[in-house]
Amino acid sequence: MTMFLEQTDDYFGNDLEEKMAPTNEKELADGGFVVPHFNSFGLRFRDYDVESMRQEGVENFYRKNHTYQCYDFVKKMREEYGKMNKAEMDIWKCCELLDGVVDESDPDLDIPQIQHLLQ
């Protein structure tokens, strides 16, 4: 048996109607993807026009990645971490450990990483 329920508000009780991405024919005619204005938690989605607390951190993250990412660096890191001798754990313990990692490249994700993983 399948049940379809109409959801009119999000997790926080906000009205979903204002968060729906536009789906008119003109915008979708070229097969493109329309990015929603809000994520499922009602937060702005990748709004780079807004000055945020994390904006400087995101800019520095990408600047360092583009400056130091070269063939020799990648080769050195693969050699170091390719040995896989740092730790041994089951998959759930690994997920819990990674929950504490902050993704500096994602300025609009304030939910825990494990919740993002399970989505």
Specify binding-site residues for Fe cation: 116
Closest CA to 65 of 100, 105, 31, 98: 105
Q: Tell me the C-alpha to C-alpha distance, in Å, between residue 85 and each of 79, 82, 93.
A: 12, 8, 17
Query: Which residue type is seen at 89?
Result: M
Closest CA to 46 of 109, 111, 116, 108: 108
Residue ranges at the known binding site: 116
E strands within the chain?
A: none
Paired with 30 in beta bridges are none
Tell me which H or E stretch contains 62.
helix 55-68
